[in-house]
Structure formats: structure tokens, C-alpha cells
Amino acid sequence: MAVIGKSAIVTGGASGIGEATARLLATEGVKVVVADLNEELAQKTAASIVESGGEASAFKANVAKMEDAEALVEFTVEKYGEVSILINNAGVVRDTLLPMMSREDWDLVVDVNLGGCFNMMKACARPMMQKRYGRVVNTSSIAGRFGGRGQANYAASKAGIDALTRVLAQELSSKKRNITVNGVAPGMIITPLSQQVRDLTQDKIVGLVPLERYGTSEDVARVIRFLVSEDADYINGQVIVVDGGLSLGIKW
Ligand SMILES: NC(=O)c1ccc[n+]([C@@H]2O[C@H](COP(=O)([O-])OP(=O)(O)OC[C@H]3O[C@@H](n4cnc5c(N)ncnc54)[C@H](O)[C@@H]3O)[C@@H](O)[C@H]2O)c1
């Protein structure tokens, strides 16, 4: 399963699924930019990848800001000559039922999760087209398909990511350009982001997973690696569910 791309930006790469993906791509010889709002953690992750023999740099960016997205892409092109792979993974949650959900909670989640994907894809489109190569994977969620109480902002942002994936898979791709845009939709994965839900539900959700375990960041990272490998060259505009079967039986 060869990964052809030479360099990758992983947003939200300092923690959880992004960190696991950055580490895995680095083991494939990809030069990785660990981009995150949390600069200290991004530096720690990049340093640890380098210690393990990979090539990585840290970059502080708020993906919700177009100027940060542009600066991140500029940094990557200057440092590694191109952006071959973009993993749009940065995400936040602010779960609460509609009556309690503030406009700020809505704006933050939509701006980071969906706006961040838009900003990064817009900033990467030209460099990828010029190099005639690009592999984009957007991190969605099963919440984008099935919803979830208290997740109006989050589920809407992830459904938007699914739509954006399908639109840009058509806009950016051509035989000449060789760009694909896909997504992964994880279920319940053990990371800091899902801690609050796992605490609130006291691990009841695990009983709804046919595989009888929560997912790990590596479970998702391996699917992302597949989507950017040459084995997935003919997959485009798809969002692959990685949830151990959770969404099959859950009563949303
Ligand atoms: N953990 C799950 O169960 C689960 C399920 C479905 C989807 N996801 C999605 O997976 C992605 C990764 O989440 P995770 O679970 O690994 O969470 P995580 O909290 O471990 O990692 C998210 C990272 O994104 C960074 N980040 C937050 N806002 C940012 C911003 N504005 N700009 C740049 N970086 C920012 C954080 O600093 C953090 O390092 C998210 O998009 C999330 O919605 C997670």
C-alpha cells in the first residue's frame, strides 16, 4: 500500500486521530506538517515523530482563519516543495441541547469544523493543481449522517463536510490533475474530544458497537492512510464510515 505523496498537512495533528495519522504517514516516508491551534502540543508531536526517524515540522494555525490556512500552505510549500496530502482533521465539540446552545457555540463549531475544511481546501487547491497531484481526506463523523441529541452544531458541520467532499471531488478532479477528495466518518473513538460524551454516557455506547469496543485513533489513521495510498487511486468523493458497526443499530 504505497503512499505516493511526498508531504502532508495534518490539521489538528497534535492530538488524537490527527496525531496517529501524522505518525503513520511519517512511517511511510511522508514529510508531515503537524498543524494545530495548540502550538506546544504540535511541537511535542513533531519532535516525537522526528525522534522516531520520521520528518515532521510543527505549525501553529487556527484553521477557522483563512489567513492562517494560507500561511500554513505557504510554509509547507516552502519547506517541502509541495502539499501532496491534506488531512482536514481539526475539530471541536460544544454539545448541548438547542435551548442552551448559544450562537457562539454554533459559530465556533461550524467555523472550525466546516469552515476549516473550506479554508484549507481553498488554500491547497492551486498548489495541488500545479503539481498535478493531490490526496485530500476530510474527517467527518457518523453524527453528520445520523445526528445525535445535543449536537446540532457538530452534526450540521459534519454533514456539511460530507457535502463539501462530494462537491470538491467533482470540482478538483480530472485525469490531468490527479486529485481525489474523500472522507472518513469515525464512530466513537477514544480521544480527548470524545471524553465528555464517554463520561456522560458512562460507556453505555460501547454496548451498541457490534465489535464491542470503542475505536482507537490508529483504527481511523489506517483508513486515512489507505485513502491517500495508490490502492485508493480510483476512490473519489466517498466518506468511509469507521465505527465498528455502531451506526447500524443505534437508535439516534
Ligand atoms: N473522537 C471521536 O470519537 C470522533 C468521532 C467522530 C469524528 N471525530 C473527528 O475527528 C477529528 C479529530 O478529533 P479527535 O477525536 O482526534 O480530537 P482531539 O481533541 O484529540 O484532536 C483535535 C485537535 O484539533 C485541534 N484544534 C481544535 N481547534 C482547532 C483549530 N481551530 N485550528 C487548528 N487545530 C484545532 C486541537 O488542538 C486538537 O489537537 C475531529 O474533526 C473530530 O470531529 C472524532
Ligand 1 centroid–CA 121 distance in Å is 17
pTM summary value: 0.98
Question: Which atom number of ligand 1 is nearest to the Cα of residue 142?
Answer: 6
Tens digits of per-residue pLDDT, 54-78? Answer: 999 999 999 999 999 999 999 999 9
Task: Establish whether residue 138 lines the binding site of ligand 1, counting it when its CB lies within 6 angstroms of any ligand atom.
Answer: no
Ligand 1 centroid–CA 17 distance in Å is 7
Q: In this predicted structure, what is the pLDDT of residue 28?
A: 96
Question: Which atom number of ligand 1 is nearest to the Cα of residue 19?
Answer: 16
Question: Which atom number of ligand 1 is nearest to the Cα of residue 17?
Answer: 16
Query: Which residue has the least CA distance to atom 38 on ligand 1?
Result: 12
Band of pLDDT at residue 122, cut at 50, 70 and 90: very high
- Phi, psi of 151, deg, nearest 5: -125, 35
Task: Establish whether residue 184 lines the binding site of ligand 1, counting it when its CB lies within 6 angstroms of any ligand atom.
Answer: no
Q: How many CB atoms lie within 10 A of CB 110?
A: 17
Q: Where are the alpha helices (DSSP H) in 116-214?
A: 116-131, 143-146, 152-172, 195-200
Position 115 pLDDT exceeds 60: yes
Average of per-residue pLDDT across 107-119: 98
Q: In this predicted structure, what is the pLDDT of residue 156?
A: 98
CA of 231: how far to CAs of 45, 57, 156, 160, 234, in Å?
Answer: 28, 27, 31, 27, 8
Question: Which atom number of ligand 1 is nearest to the Cα of residue 143?
Answer: 6
Position 250 pLDDT exceeds 60: yes
Q: In this predicted structure, what is the pLDDT of residue 202?
A: 79
Position 182 pLDDT exceeds 90: yes
Exposed, middle or buried: residue 56 (CB in 10 Å: 0-12, 13-18, 19+)?
Answer: buried
Q: In this predicted structure, what is the pLDDT of residue 249?
A: 77
Task: Establish whether residue 33 lines the binding site of ligand 1, counting it when its CB lies within 6 angstroms of any ligand atom.
Answer: no
Tens digits of per-residue pLDDT, 189-243? Answer: 999 999 988 888 877 899 999 999 999 999 999 999 999 999 999 999 999 999 9
Position 251 pLDDT exceeds 80: no
Catalytic residue among 80, 133, 154, 214: 154
Position 252 pLDDT exceeds 80: no
Task: Establish whether residue 242 lines the binding site of ligand 1, counting it when its CB lies within 6 angstroms of any ligand atom.
Answer: no
Q: In this predicted structure, what is the pLDDT of residue 138?
A: 98
Task: Establish whether residue 12 lines the binding site of ligand 1, counting it when its CB lies within 6 angstroms of any ligand atom.
Answer: yes
Whether 214 is a known active-site residue: answer no
Ligand 1 centroid–CA 86 distance in Å is 15
- The answer to whether residues 188 and 197 touch, using CB atoms and an 8 Å cutoff, is yes
If you count them, how many residues does the chain have?
252
Pick the CATH number of 7-246 from 3.40.50.2000, 3.40.50.720, 3.30.70.150, 3.30.700.30: 3.40.50.720
At position 202, the amino acid (one-letter code) is Q
Q: In this predicted structure, what is the pLDDT of residue 201?
A: 86
Ligand 1 centroid–CA 91 distance in Å is 4
Q: In this predicted structure, what is the pLDDT of residue 199?
A: 87
Ligand 1 centroid–CA 193 distance in Å is 6
Average of per-residue pLDDT across 105-124: 98
Query: Which residue has the least CA distance to atom 1 on ligand 1?
Result: 189
Tens digits of per-residue pLDDT, 12-60? Answer: 999 999 999 999 999 999 999 999 999 999 999 999 999 999 999 999 9
Position 112 pLDDT exceeds 70: yes
Which of 184, 132, 183 is closest to 5 using CA atoms? 132
Ligand 1 centroid–CA 174 distance in Å is 30
